[in-house]
Each structure stands twice: as structure tokens, then as C-alpha cells.
Structure 1
Amino acid sequence: MKSYPFFYSLYSSRWEEKLCLWADKNFRFFAFTSGNNHVYPSQPFDSFFFAGNKELSESEIWQTVKLKVGVIGYDYKNRIEKLNSDNLEFFPLPELCFFEPELIFKLDAKGIYSSSEIPKAYLNEIEAQILPANPSLSCQVSPQVTRDEYLRSVLNIQNEILEGNTYETNFCQAFSGSFASWAPIAAFFRLNELSKMPFAALFKAKNQWLLSASPERFLKKTGSKLIAQPIKGTIKRGLNPEEDAENREKLISSEKERAENLMITDLMRNDLARVSKTGSVRVEELFGIYPFPRVLQMISTVSSEIKDVVTFENIIRATFPMGSMTGAPKISTMKIIEREECFRRGWFSGAFGWIDENEDFDFSVVIRSIIADLEVKKLYFGVGSAITIDASAEQEYDECELKAQALFELLRGN
């Protein structure tokens, strides 16, 4: 990405929130990202702000060499394989939604950096933004399946495992709601207080919004190096350091969690091999345990050196969707997901990020995220877990509640 020779001190606290409010009034698209100072293998998201008015066509997304920011929806899988998505959608979402930024900032604790001089009027307008005193953050959300329906679906998936049609399935449920008014910018910054994640992102695409507190990277490319970092394996944080250490040991010692992680790590090795130099794919870290605000997660890191003539589109078509959100084997498992889930995933479990002028990129997995449409006044989020033959349906249901805890707290006004 371009260098940032221009530096500006931040004028006040909550400047980033003011920046997003200003951008909402002046741009059809914008994105704000933060790594929240996490210690994460290969680094979390950089803190960026992008804004622009030009939406890119599909050919421009794949073929033009320029900075672009956006979302690849889960249902893009249907363009890659002979699959379909016939379940209920909460509201229509584009499978590909990217824009070309005309304003780009890199942010840190000291201030903002820009590749070109920022008009003084912009800075004054941003500083003058009034933060809403009582923004509307809450929304009554309802599950799309009952607990009993969820438990039955888990048993159905385990029968598919016995039949040899899948080894592991990432089965998800959805929660949805409607609202008279809702403040997505204030909601995002509140969510980021409740759950500071390494791939936090706020994305506006006209009237549609993504508020993401994702812990997971999909893919990152730097030069010829490509990395994937699947998460499989979750346990709650302890109430004190001793309990935390005990839970960490439980997670790393769990044969079930290690088996889940290993299957997806192998899947990602195979996906990366399709676009990588022979013999270059390797597992840099297997079963790494990393702390997040509410959970401990098991993360593995797979890397490779891409072939000399490989495009962004080639890489996406070889690896999308992220194996941790499908299961293995990928294609037959996605067919089972379509049968057992009762909602169309849309942007959920897709990927959000950016690709720069050098064709380097960084994309997260869209999980722990709210997707909203301010025109139809609806929102939803999904949450899931890996179903294996020895999974307890009740425990998997409880794990989903644990993962969605911060989203519930936000929307319920806790």
C-alpha cells in the first residue's frame, strides 16, 4: 500500500467515531478496521479508514490493479462450485460488494497518517461532529430455530457422518430482528468495547452495514507469501488466572477439539496447494492457543509461496469459503449445510478485507458480526460450531451462545 507521509494529531477522544459519523454523511461507502493491539500470528488487522463513492463492478474487482475494499458473501460459493442457496434470506445482499477508496487513513495511538494532504475543512468537520447522546443500540432478536430443532439437526449431521458424507460440518443458526431506528456506528463502537477482537471492522455499503468483531483471519498475502489461519476449538475464559490456565490446558488436551482443528488445517493445506509452488505449503503453527476477551481459541497457521502467475481471483476460487465455516470434505458438506440450516448466510461466514495496488491483501472471516439494512430496518447474525461424530448437541448449542454473548449484550442493551 502507498506510504503515508502526512501526519495529523488526533484532536479529541472518540475521534474515530466522529470520523465514521462524518463519513456516513459524505460517502456511500466506508470502512474502519482495528486490530485492537492484539498479539496475533502474522499480526491482526491494521487500523485503517477507507471512504469512497465508487462501487466496483465484478470485472473491476477481479481485473483492475487498484486499492479496493469490500465483502465476498458466503453465497459466492455458488459461482465456484455447482451449489445453490435456496434458504430464506433476511434481505438481499450482493455476493460481491467492493468500493474504490478516495480517502485513506492509517491510524495509531498518536494520530492519523495519510498518503496525501487532508483538507483542513475535512478535519474541522470531523472534529465538529456531535456524538449522539442516546443512540439506539438495542434490537429485539429472535432465534430462527428452536433449541429442539437445533438438536435434531445436529443428530441429522451425525447421521451424515456415519454415512460417510462429511467428517465435520460447521452448522450455524441465525438470530434476526427488526427496528424502527438503529445506530450502526455507535453500535459498532459499543461492540468493540464489549469484545475487542483482532479483526474488528465497520463497513458501510449504501444502506447496508457490517459490524464485525471477528477473531479469525481468512487469508493474508504479502508478496508471494500466502497464509490461512483457521480457528477450530473454543473454551470460555476463566474467572481468574488459575482457572484460565486450567481451561487452556483443557482445550489443548481435548482430542475432539484437536481433531476438529486438524481436519480444517488439512483442508486449508489442500486449498492453498492449488495455487502454490510445489512443496511450499507448510504448517507454521498447529493448535496455538490464543486468548480473547471471553474465550480461548485454538488457531493454526498454514503458509505457502504462491505460483508466479496467480491472480486474486485464482486464489479466492481455490480457497473460498474458509474451511472453518464449511467443514470437510468441503463440497459435500456445503450441500449438507444447505439442507440443515434454515437461513441464507449472505455476508455471514464470507470474507471482509482489502487488496492493495501490489495485490497484497488481508481478509477476515465474517463471524461474531451483525449485518443490517437500514432501509428495510432489519438485522441478523449467525453463529455456529463444528459438528463431529463425538460432538454433544447440547454442548454445541451452549458454545454458540458463548460465541454470541457480546452480540446479545449489545442488542439487549446489557
Structure 2
Amino acid sequence: MLKVFYSNQTDILKLRGLHWADSFSTACYFDSNHYNDPYSAFDSLIAAGVKKELIYSEKGSFNQLNSFLSENDAYSIGYFAYDLKNEAENLFSNNPDHLKFPDFNFFLPQHTILIKGNEIQIDSDQPDEIWKALNEFEIPNFKSLPQKNQIQSRFSRNEYIETVKEIQKHIQRGDIYEINFCQEFYAENTNINPLDTFSKLNKLSPTPFASYFKSSGKHILSATPERFLSRRGNKIISQPIKGTSSRKTDAIQDEEQKKSLLENEKERSENVMIVDLVRNDLTKSAKAGTVKVEELFGLYSFKQVHQMISTVVCDAQEELSNATIISNTFPMGSMTGAPKISAMQLAEKYERSKRGVYSGALGYFAPNGDFDFNVVIRTILYDEDSNYLSFHVGSAITLDSDPEKEYEECILKGKAITEVLS
């Protein structure tokens, strides 16, 4: 049953809804953090409880999802792990997997709360009871849990730099043009409160695609600024990010940082390469002649960094299912490189951990046929059963890359997470 309520205190309701949903074993929370986005469908979406669930068991995930979506006319919420690439291409993932998240996990919520402006839509068998619970819910005060282990890295600084130099030899030989090379930071036998950690991360680094997901003791705590793929009506939208610079506290210096990023030829060439890759991916699902670049080198500022974001769109072929459209573009080009298959093969060779959910996509399918999925970056992954915590960071490597600067960019991208965890 869908029922609409109204409130002038939606920011408080969002927080109450997040904490209320966390009382369920499976829950998800999406927060746009008040960023203006022409393709956003809500300010916040909160889902709790499970009516039905689809978890990866064997190959054929996108076909399974297609059946799941066709059988259920409701919000379907979940994620695709990066390693589903192995279903689309003749690839493999043999690097160590310390988190062991399923490669695929979607659920139909028992309760869905959608907040937009001062309107709150509650879809539940008991919408009035949920509304009452939200208004009466008291947000608990968390006690910080002690960190038992310091954050470690799979690469030392020197190892990372030397590996980048090896990768650049492949670029010199013409094997690839660009690769997103990633490294894992991790902590073993650590104990965090996932919701408290996400709340701190979202406050320190608010982004338009922030999300919190929990299922069977696995937690995704994300402050990602990037959209992978969205559908609005018959329009498909992809917004790859390539180009990063730090923020400055001084306003004049901060403007200089933005100008420098926008004029940086290396960053612009990286952006163009991925835009071309995304255009190529979208042609697999697009009506002929409809793929276009809506915005090139858009400059967007977040609390921690400035980012260069481009927007590529198309009109979808009407006979294609949403699962097929996503599989035609997965994984996203901004997290692979170009050419895509060769870049993924080299990433597997030189990286030291299975990416798993990192550089996958988390999002939703709406009842009206629309969907929206982010890119899982700037994200903490946590398994409360093994007490293993992980976050990856990556950087685009080209022939012009300075290995030391690429390492510093990785540290910058992980700055908000390391601050929260410290």
C-alpha cells in the first residue's frame, strides 16, 4: 500500500529513517545530500526488510535479474560486483578475496520510504505505523568502538610506483591507452559500528550518490560522487568521472585549483578516452544515431575534491530489458580503461586483491521501469563476521602519468575514509 505524507523536517526524518531501517537485517539508504541533479528522482530512498531476494549463485546473473524484475512490480534494490565482468567476457578473477561478498545481491523491500521535497511516500503493508515510528524514533548515541588494527596497504609506496612504471611499458607497446589501476587498503580483526561509520563519512564527505547497504552481515558504506548508469523514460544517462584535484580552504586558491584541473591536458585526455569508451558501450543499447555527449569536461566541486565529469546519453532500443542495457555497459569504463578488455586483463595481473563490490554498482530499479546506479568508489566494505574492513582507491594511468603523483591522487581519494576510520 502506497501512502503519501508531508513534513517540513525531512532532514530529521531521513536520519530517523536510516537508523530505523538499520534495525532490519537487510536495509539500504540512498542520499543525494541536496545536490542539484537534473536526473535525480528523489532526495532520499530508504528500504528495509525483505519480501524476496536474489543472490548470486552461478553464471547467468543478468538473465536471472531479468526474470526477477519481470516478475515483480516494485522497487528492486541491490548491487553488481565488478567481477561480473567474467560473465560478459572471457575473463577471470583469481586475486585473493578477503571480503567474500556475493557478486550480485538484490532484494524487494518490505518497506520503502521515498523523500522528495516535503513529500514522503511510504510503500508498506502498514504505512501509518511506519510513519508513526519515523516520527517517534529516537536516534541513538553511538559509543565509538576502539580500532584494533591500523589500516594497511597491499602496496607500499615504492611498490605502487614501480608497478605503474611496468604498466606504462604496456602502454608504450600499444597494449592499452589507459588503465584504472587500483590498490586495496584494509584492516583485519577490526571492530566498527557500520551505521555510525557511514554517518560520519556522509557528514565529512557528502556526495550525490551516498549509500548505505547491509545484508547478512556485509556492509557497503559509500560516499561516491559518480553515477554509472541511469534510465529516465527512454533516455539512458552515463556520467563518467576522470580528473581530480584537491580542495583548498582559501577561496582564491580553490578557484585556481578548478581552473588548473579544467586546463590540464592529461586530465582532459583521460576524460575524452573514457567518454569515447562510454559512447561505444551505449551504442549496444541505443537507437541508431541517438548517442551524444550532453556535457564534456563538466567541473563539479565536492567537499574533499574537484572532479571533471562528462555526461553521455542515448535513447534506448525499446525491445531491450533493463538488465540487458546494464550488462551491455558493465563494468563502467571509468573503472577499467581502454581498450576495455585489455585493461581489465592487465588490472587482474597487476592488482593484488579481488575488487569485488568496489568499482561495481549499487542502486535501484523503480516500479515505473527507471533505474539509477552509482559507481562504488570512495567506499568502505565491511564484513562483521570476519571483522575485515577494506577500501580500494584507483587512479587512471596513461603514458603521461607521473607515478608519484598518481600515488598521491590515490591517497587524496581515500582521505575522507582514513579520517573517519582514525
1:266–1:197 distance in 2 versus 1, CA, 3 Å: same
Give the alignment of 1:4-403 within 5 angstroms: 5-9=3-7, 14-25=12-23, 27-40=24-37, 42-43=39-40, 46-53=43-50, 54-56=52-54, 58=61, 60-63=64-67, 64-65=69-70, 66=73, 67-108=75-116, 110=118, 112-115=120-123, 118-120=127-129, 123-124=132-133, 127-129=136-138, 131-136=140-145, 138=147, 140-403=150-413
Aligned residues: 409
Tell me how far 1:244 sits from its aligned partner: 1.5
Which deviations, in whole Å up to 9, do the C-alpha atoms of 1:44-96 show, x marking residues without a partner? 86410011223125555222333210010000000110000000111211111
Tell me how far 1:6 sits from its aligned partner: 1.8
**Residues of 1 paired with 2:81 and 2:41: CA distance?**
21
Q: Percent identity?
A: 41
**Structure 1 letter corresponding to 2:93:** S
Which deviations, in whole Å up to 9, do the C-alpha atoms of 1:105-156 show, x marking residues without a partner? 1125646332455243773377344513413275621111101110011001
**Structure 2 letter corresponding to 1:20:** L
**Residues of 2 paired with 1:354 and 1:376: CA distance?**
28
SS of equivalent to 1:94: coil
**Residues of 2 paired with 1:111 and 1:329: CA distance?**
45
| Contact 1:19-1:126 within 8 A present in 2 as well | no
**Structure 1 letter corresponding to 2:18:** C
1:10–1:100 distance in 2 versus 1, CA, 3 Å: farther
Equivalent residue for 2:58? none
**Residues of 2 paired with 1:60 and 1:91: CA distance?**
24
1:126–1:60 distance in 2 versus 1, CA, 3 Å: farther
Q: Which runs of 5+ in 1 are unaligned?
A: none
Which deviations, in whole Å up to 9, do the C-alpha atoms of 1:177-219 show, x marking residues without a partner? 1345311111111101100001000001121010000000000
SS of equivalent to 1:376: coil
**Residues of 1 paired with 2:133 and 2:8: CA distance?**
12
**Residues of 1 paired with 2:406 and 2:95: CA distance?**
22
Tell me how far 1:286 sits from its aligned partner: 0.5
**Residues of 2 paired with 1:43 and 1:13: CA distance?**
17
**Residues of 2 paired with 1:160 and 1:125: CA distance?**
55
| Contact 2:190-2:389 within 8 A present in 1 as well | no
| Contact 1:325-1:349 within 8 A present in 2 as well | yes
Q: Which runs of 5+ in 2 are unaligned?
A: 56-60
Which deviations, in whole Å up to 9, do the C-alpha atoms of 1:251-297 show, x marking residues without a partner? 11111000000000000000000110110000000011111111110
1:342–1:278 distance in 2 versus 1, CA, 3 Å: same
1:246–1:121 distance in 2 versus 1, CA, 3 Å: closer
| Contact 1:137-1:184 within 8 A present in 2 as well | no
**Structure 1 letter corresponding to 2:31:** S
**Residues of 1 paired with 2:385 and 2:100: CA distance?**
11
1:402–1:41 distance in 2 versus 1, CA, 3 Å: farther
SS of equivalent to 1:279: coil
| Contact 2:34-2:43 within 8 A present in 1 as well | no
**Residues of 2 paired with 1:378 and 1:304: CA distance?**
40
**Residues of 2 paired with 1:121 and 1:202: CA distance?**
20
| Contact 1:17-1:189 within 8 A present in 2 as well | no
SS of equivalent to 1:348: coil
TM-score by length of 1: 0.93
1:31–1:151 distance in 2 versus 1, CA, 3 Å: same
**Residues of 2 paired with 1:129 and 1:145: CA distance?**
43
| Contact 1:44-1:198 within 8 A present in 2 as well | no
1:297–1:202 distance in 2 versus 1, CA, 3 Å: same
Tell me how far 1:5 sits from its aligned partner: 4.2
SS of equivalent to 1:214: coil
**Residues of 2 paired with 1:264 and 1:12: CA distance?**
37
